[in-house]
Structure 1
Amino acid sequence: MASDRQLKLLDKTSWQILAILQENARIPFKELGKQVRLSAPAVAERVRRLEEAGIITRYRAELNLEKLGLSIMAFVTFRSFPDKCEELKLLLHESPEVQSSYRITGSDHYLAKVSVTSVGHLEQLVDRFITYSTVTTSIVLSTPISGRVIDDEIFPEVVEK
């Protein structure tokens, strides 16, 4: 839950800044300031406060994995065998194909987003995990929604008027 200090940072202008940065984290402060009607130093100060509050946690480049040869994306669920949960977690961490993993509720223990070069590569990845868990894969056919911007319309009660 957001702290009172964090909530005070989230006025309409801060939400505009966050939305713009989610679309283009490399935008110069001068241009960002123009878009939200603030000076470059004022925008820089707001961004600094959002970073210090832990609302902005990092900046990163988004890669086209298909152009890198990783043409298959899949979601994989893992139901750990008894006493194998820690080993499974370690293997998830050590596997470069795993883009992200989540400890989840329900009958499975982990969900991972993976990228591989081929179905054969996916099979090799699954084979590494079958000693530790029951594995279920779902290959991604398309991505209708990706990288959706989080803005004040999702959380209207958080925005200070």
Structure 2
Amino acid sequence: MRDIDETDRELLRLLLEDGRRPYKELAEAVELSPPAVSDRIDRLRELGVIQRFTVDVDRSKLREGVRLAVTLSVRPGETTAVREALADVEGVEHVFATADSRLFVVATFPSGDIETHLAAAFDTGAVEAVEATPLVGADWHPALGEVTLGLECAECGNTVTDEGVSATIDGDRYEFCCGSCEARFEERYAELQQNA
């Protein structure tokens, strides 16, 4: 199945409210058996819709430094390099990229000295300007709405429909819009491995 139905959407809504909710409770809510719920959640994970189960920490209950909202203006075309540099920075919680080459960063540092803590981003040479302000509060209201599945073909970038195919190559799952794209991708992949 290459789409999600109302049952999948309801499971996602319930998991957004509480990611530790037992399968038995989820099953009762959507009127399925626990194994059927488990299968659906496994499928959503395989498709990449569910990436991980995590904890939402109330930082107002913890003392750990200064929580900041930082805006980094980055040279066009270099946001990926800066995002990658920020991936391993201790204290960085979220990085949001915009179409106009800005990154919005939410981070908590032991001191307000952001240049020291974000040195990896500045070392890229792509950061043109920085604005920072202390955060005094944060709310998170995840909403799902009437979403549909939006898988992209790993070969051509087209939308994968019900006619699409999946392939697992070296442990990674790929989605394709058709068998031809899958064959081209696997052929190129094999060539790259031979030349490596």
| TM-score, scaled relative to structure 2 | 0.59
Matched, 1:46 2:40: yes
Gaps in structure 2 of 5+ consecutive residues: 150-196
Select which of 135, 149, 155 maps to 1:140: 135
Runs of 4+ in 1 over 4 A off after TM superposition: 84-91, 127-132
Percent identical among aligned pairs is: 22
Q: CA 1:28 to 1:135, structure 2 compared with 1: closer, same or farther past 3 Å?
A: same
Q: Could you say which structure has the higher helix fraction?
A: 1
Q: Cα distance, 1:56 vs. partner?
A: 1.1
Across the two proteins, how many residue pairs are aligned to each other? 142
Aligned to 1:115: 108
Tell which deviates more after alignment, 35-44 or 89-98.
89-98
Q: 2:93 & 2:6 partners in 1: Cα distance?
A: 33
Q: Cα distance, 1:115 vs. partner?
A: 2.0
Select which of 4, 11, 26 maps to 1:17: 11
Q: CA 1:13 to 1:135, structure 2 compared with 1: closer, same or farther past 3 Å?
A: same
Tell which deviates more after alignment, 71-80 or 34-43.
71-80
Q: 1:71 & 1:14 partners in 2: Cα distance?
A: 39
Q: How does 1:72-83 map to 2 (within 5 A)?
A: 72-80=66-74
Q: 1:41 & 1:11 partners in 2: Cα distance?
A: 18
Select which of 82, 87, 95 maps to 2:89: 95
What's the C-alpha RMSD, in Å, of the aligned pairs?
3.0
Gaps in structure 1 of 5+ consecutive residues: none
Matched, 1:70 2:64: yes
| TM-score, scaled relative to structure 1 | 0.70
Q: Cα distance, 1:85 vs. partner?
A: 7.0
Aligned to 2:2: 6
